[in-house]
Structure formats: structure tokens, C-alpha cells
Amino acid sequence: MKPPSRVREMPILRVIARALVPVILLFGLYVQFHGDFGPGGGFQAGVIFAAGLIIFALVFGAEALRQVVPVVLTERLMAAGVLLYGAVGVVAMFLGGEFLNYSALDPLTTGHYGQHLGIIVIELGVGIAVAATIMRVYYAFVDRRADEDGTGADPALDAGAGGEAT
Amino acid sequence: MIEKILVLEVVLPLLAAPVCVLVRHPRFCRLFSLGVIAACFAIAVALLVEVRGGGVISYQLGGWPPPLGIEYRVSTINAYLLALVTAMALVVFSFDSRGGPPRVPEQRRHLYYAVFLLCISGLLGIAITGDAFNIFVFLEISSLSSYILVSLGGHRRAVMSAFYYLVMGTIGGVFFMLGVGLLYQATGTLNLRDIAARLEPSLDDRGTVLALALLVVGISIKLAVFPLHHWLPNAYSFAPPKVSAFLAATATKVSFYLLAMVLFTIFGAPFVFEELRLQAVLLPLSILAMFLASGAAIFQTDLRRLLAYSSVAQIGYMTLGLSTANATGLAGGLVHLFNHAVMKGGLFLVVACLLYRVGSVHIDALAGIGRRMPLTSAALVIGGLSLIGVPGTVGFVSKWYLVSGVLERGWTAAAVLILLSSLLALVYVGKVVEVVYFRKPAETQPIDHVREAPLGMLAPAWVLAAAAVFFGLTTDWTYGVAREAAELLLAGGI
């Protein structure tokens, strides 16, 4: 057990972070789902959401964040986000349109509803992928110190995936 | 039917990569990737059959018509590239490297397959898309994933050479991007055909000339044209052997297509080769590459470095074909894409077999290996003969049309130099063959324990060796297609 760093001993930071993190996360979700009416979108939302969680980790320690979002989960979410984006395109193909032709998602009304639905879902995919990627990058930096033996092994992943049968 | 699913050529590997990351099971990922690559190959072949004879298939992504939307456009030259990349990916991927690259532990093997698929997807994307910015995106996808693949080699220097490759590749990417930006400024469009239609290149228009310069230099870095080739020997010799085989067979080939497309389709042969006279630069550089890189190959003691320098020399042949700017020479350059992919891919797979059994491909370690691994060594000889350009192999086909093209242009001296440079190839191939078959193994390095490579390795290497002979005898699907593509390019089409 390492001695607590100075940041973690500061009560003001701890209290404010505890109050702010939920708001930041909520704001991230707002930017995500309001992106079709106002400024925003998946990329920005993903960055804000991940930034909120990283602030949490900076104040309460990366271990605390790891319990909420394990490293393996970030990797899965990275892939899942991309897959969600691509799946919209493939579904549009199955419904008779071109790849990523959102209009095909709503064959009945031939109006803007399909376009609306399509952009919401792909932006959700972008948001998930971006948030997960930024957190994975953060974990990679945090765990760098443990990797000074120079083996090139990635302790973040090895710790996270240790119990998992592959 | 095929025009409806054309986009799957890129989408399948692009989406198979995250599936591999999600599933995480190495064996599943391997078989799944193989299946996806096979499907891509089938689509590419179907496309090639469909567009042969001058057909064009256009696909509008998202239903947005070009030039506003992104257009995927397949004509003979694109289908040729797609078939080449997927065929090589299929053969190389089916090579059983017994546990993947050395630096990747079992529990992260799935990421290796994911990156491999992304690299394939990027290369296919460059070949299929008709949108300049889309090319840049795919260029970055393929480049970033190939830096990762190179860094996975067993040697510590693999990481350093991957970093050097990254720096050079990024400079190339930035130059390309700047060039596209200037073209966008000049024409207000990103659709390649639309750019070509709107652009009126002239020597007085500095912006357009600068765009051409940036594009040519940027792509030349990725293609490893002679003075910009320094990343290549290290990258190819420290990458995992399977990765070297794949990159040598595909990555530079796609860059060559890109260069040809920029010169002939966007700027047009009359401007580039008559007004600007780019051949005054391209021709000497090609000839220098043929001689200096072949000369460097002679002095290499590591078989992989030798092959890598030989690759730089072979790229010289391709750009030589490009600088003739006539149908025969350009077709010679284009057919050399396929021919060189077959022989160099095969040779790097042979290297992978040797590395697996002998543990080193230093020239001294290979002494007398011909007796212990007869089949592997025979494949090595076939590949080597093809590099020299012996009749009956694919190397001869390329050189025949290159020399014809050069003579058609009236460059007799260049034709003589092509033939002379083949002698250098004879020297470096001869050196390897001499060691493998006729030299006694060193006392310090007994090779009695060395056995023939396992079938899973030998079969893909032999498929390529057999292809090097087969396509050296029938040229309908190689030179025939390349000729069509060359005529299309010269006419400014795509």
C-alpha cells in the first residue's frame, strides 16, 4: 500500500470532486443526446464523460476507478462502440439501402425519421468508443510506472485480464 | 448483385476487428479473420470479373450522390489492386506461424488479429474509394496499424524501427494531406473524378504545382522511392516474419497505385510528363534505386535485410514503368506490382520457415540448410530466380514489358541499365543459393537437428512459389488486366 499522495489528502478537492463528478457525467450525457438539436455529438460527449471519470481517478486514485470501470471493460467498450456504428450501416444494407443510408432504417415514412434515428445511434457508438479509448489511454499512462522493468508488458491489461479465461 | 455488396470489401475487415477484440479467443479470432479475408478475396475476384473489359461500378455511401457524398468506384485498376491485396492477405494469413508474433502473449493475441484486419481494411479502402479525403483516412488506418504490426517483432530494435517508420510515415501522411488541401482549395471538391474534371493544371498556377509536389513526395515516402526508402529495410527486417511478408506484398503496392492515380487521373499525363517533365526526376531515381539498393543488398549478411533492400530496388522498376508514361511501360510497372508481391511475399514466407526451424536467417547460419530443408530451399530458389527475371518466372514477364516500354519511348540506355541491374540481382540471389546449397555448415552451428518446416508453413510459401511460375507462363490475368488498367489510367480514367 503506497502512502496517500498529497492531492488525496486535500479535503476541499475531495468534497468538490465528489460533488462535481456526477454533474460532469450528466453533462456528458446531455451533450451526447442533445447533439442533434444543439452543439455536441458523440466525440465531445465521450471526451467529457471520460474526463469526469478521470477527475474521479485523479482525486480518489486509479484503483477506485478501476473498480467502477475495469481495464477489460474499456477495451470491450472501445470495440462495442465501433461495432455499434458499423452495425447501423449493415442494418441499413439489410433493409435495402446503401451502407449507412439512414433513410433505409425507416422504410415506412421515407422521411427524416430514419435519418434522425441513424445519427443518434451512430453518435452513441462514437461516444462509447471515444470515452472508452480515452480511459484506456489514461490507464496506459497510469500503469507506466509499474512497467519500469522494460519488458514491454502492459500491467494494466495483465492485472485486468488476469482472472479471465481466454 | 455485386454492386450492392461492394462496400463489404472494406466493411467486413473493419468490423471484424472489433469483433475480435470483443471475443478475445485467439483460436476463434484466427479462424474468423481467415474467413473474413477469404470473403473479401471472393468479392474482389467477383469485382474483377465484373469490371474487366471496361466496366465501372460506383457505390454511394449513405445514399448521398457524388460529388457531395463519398463514392466508392471500382474499375479495372481498383479491382486489380483489391484482388492483389486480398489474395496476398489470404495466403500470408493462412501461414501457420505457430503462436503468432513473439512479443504478443496468448491473452493479447486477439489484438494482433484485430490490428491485422484493420491494416487490410485500410489498404483495401485506399484502393476502392473515389474520395481524396477518404483516401487519407484509410491511409492513416493502414499506416497506424502497420506501425503496430512492425513493433511486434521479437528483437528490441523492432520498436525503434517501428518508431522511425511512424515518423517517416506521418511526414508522408501530412504531405499527402496538405496536397489534398491545396487541391480542395483549387477545385472546391474532394471527389477524385470531380477534382480531375475541374482542375486545369498549368505551370503558372503555383498552388497546383505545389499540390502535385506535396502529393508526390508524401506518397513516395510511403512507397519508399529511392532516397526516401530508409524506413523500409529496418521495418521489414525487424517486423514479425509474417508481417514482413504481408507488408512487402501489399503496402507499397497500394502506394504505387496511389501515385499512379494522382499523376494520371488527377493531374493527367500531358501535364505531368510533357509540361512538367516529371520523368526527368523519376527516371534517374528509379535507376539509382535499381543499382544502389541492389548493390546494398549484395553486402547484407541478414537474409531479411537483403530481401528488404531488394524490395527498394524492385520499387525502382515500378517507378521506371511509371515514368515511361506509355501503355506498355505503365502496364509493365503495374504487372510488376502483382509479380513482385508474389515473389517477395513467397520469399518472406520462406524466411519465416527458416526462422522457425533454424532460429536465425544470418547468412552463415544458413550454410548447408538446403540438405536439411529441401522444400523450403527450393521455394527460396524459385523466388530468387524470379527476382533475377529468369524466363518462366513472373520476374521475366515484368522485365520484358518494362524493357519494351522503355524502348518504345526511345530510352535505349535505360533498357540496357535494366538488364545490367538484373546482374546485380543475380549476384545477391546467387550468394544466398551458394550458401544454402554448397557451403558446409559451420562447426559452431550444427544443423543436424534442423528438420523441414511444418506443412502449415510450407504450403503458403509454396502456393506463392507455384504462382511465381504459373503467372510467369500465363499472363492473361496479370498482364492482361494490367494493360487494361494502364490504358485506363493513360486516358485519365479511374
Question: Would you say residue A161 lies in a domain?
Answer: no
In which band, very low, low, confident or very high, does the pLDDT at A162 lie, cut at 50, 70 and 90?
very low
* pLDDT at residue A155 in the model: 47
Write out the residue range of the structural domain in which residue A125 sits: 6-147
Q: What residues in A contact B117, CB-CB < 8 Å?
A: none
Contact B63 A161 (CB under 8 A): no
Question: Would you say residue B390 lies in a domain?
Answer: yes
Q: What residues in A contact B114, CB-CB < 8 Å?
A: 79
* pLDDT at residue A165 in the model: 32
**pLDDT tens digits, residue range B428-472?**
999 999 999 998 887 777 777 788 888 889 999 999 999 999 999
* pLDDT at residue A41 in the model: 87
Inform me whether the pLDDT recorded for A164 exceeds 50. Answer: no
Contact B11 A98 (CB under 8 A): no
Peptide bond between residue B227 and the one before it cis (omega within 30 degrees of 0):
no
Contact A98 B25 (CB under 8 A): no
Question: Would you say residue A1 lies in a domain?
Answer: no
Question: Would you say residue B205 lies in a domain?
Answer: yes
The answer to whether B56 touches B47, Cβ cutoff 8 Å, is no
Q: How far is A154 from chain B (nearest CA, A)?
A: 10
Question: Would you say residue B307 lies in a domain?
Answer: yes
B contact test, residue of A98, A103, A115 with most B CBs within 10 A? A98
Question: Would you say residue B2 lies in a domain?
Answer: no
Closest by Cβ to A83, choosing from B15, B26, B107: B15
* pLDDT at residue A11 in the model: 85
**Region of poorest pLDDT, from A100-109, B213-222, B336-345:** A100-109
Question: Would you say residue A77 lies in a domain?
Answer: yes
Question: Would you say residue A88 lies in a domain?
Answer: yes
DSSP annotation of B103 reads T
Inform me whether the pLDDT recorded for A10 exceeds 60. Answer: yes
In which band, very low, low, confident or very high, does the pLDDT at A150 lie, cut at 50, 70 and 90?
very low
Question: Would you say residue A81 lies in a domain?
Answer: yes
Structural domain count, chain B: 1
**pLDDT tens digits, residue range B368-388?**
888 889 999 999 999 999 999
- Higher pLDDT residue, B203 or B349? B349
Inform me whether the pLDDT recorded for A1 exceeds 60. Answer: no
Closest by Cβ to B19, choosing from A83, A152, A153: A83
Inform me whether the pLDDT recorded for A166 exceeds 60. Answer: no
Give the number of other CB atoms < 10 A from CB of residue B440. 7
Q: Which residue, among B144, B352, B102, has the nearest Cα to A151 in the 3D structure?
A: B102
Question: Would you say residue A160 lies in a domain?
Answer: no
Beta-carbon-side half-sphere exposure of residue A49 (alpha carbons within 13 Å): 25
Contact A101 B63 (CB under 8 A): yes
Q: How far is B483 from chain A (nearest CA, A)?
A: 32
Q: What CA–CA distance (Å, rounded) separates B274 from B19?
A: 50
Inform me whether the pLDDT recorded for A161 exceeds 50. Answer: no
**pLDDT tens digits, residue range A66-97?**
999 999 999 999 999 999 999 999 999 888 88
Write out the residue range of the structural domain in which residue B294 sits: 8-490
* pLDDT at residue A32 in the model: 92
Inform me whether the pLDDT recorded for B188 exceeds 60. Answer: yes
The answer to whether B268 touches B196, Cβ cutoff 8 Å, is yes
Question: Would you say residue A39 lies in a domain?
Answer: yes
Beta-carbon-side half-sphere exposure of residue B246 (alpha carbons within 13 Å): 27
Contact B7 A99 (CB under 8 A): yes
Alpha helix ranges (H) inside B389-478: 394-409, 412-438, 455-473
**Residue type at position A160:** G
Q: Could you give the C-alpha distances from B397 to A99, B318, B330, B344, in angstroms and in order?
A: 40, 13, 13, 15
Q: What residues in B contact A90, CB-CB < 8 Å?
A: 11, 15
Q: What residues in B contact A100, CB-CB < 8 Å?
A: 61-62
Question: Would you say residue B323 lies in a domain?
Answer: yes
B106 touches chain A (CB under 8 A): yes
The answer to whether B94 touches B34, Cβ cutoff 8 Å, is yes
In which band, very low, low, confident or very high, does the pLDDT at B406 lie, cut at 50, 70 and 90?
very high
Contact B108 A154 (CB under 8 A): yes
* pLDDT at residue A160 in the model: 39
* pLDDT at residue A143 in the model: 84
Question: Would you say residue A11 lies in a domain?
Answer: yes
B263 touches chain A (CB under 8 A): no
ipTM comes to 0.86
* pLDDT at residue B357 in the model: 87
Percentage of chain A lying above the pLDDT 70 cut: 80
* pLDDT at residue A135 in the model: 95
Contact A90 B26 (CB under 8 A): no
Structural domain count, chain A: 1
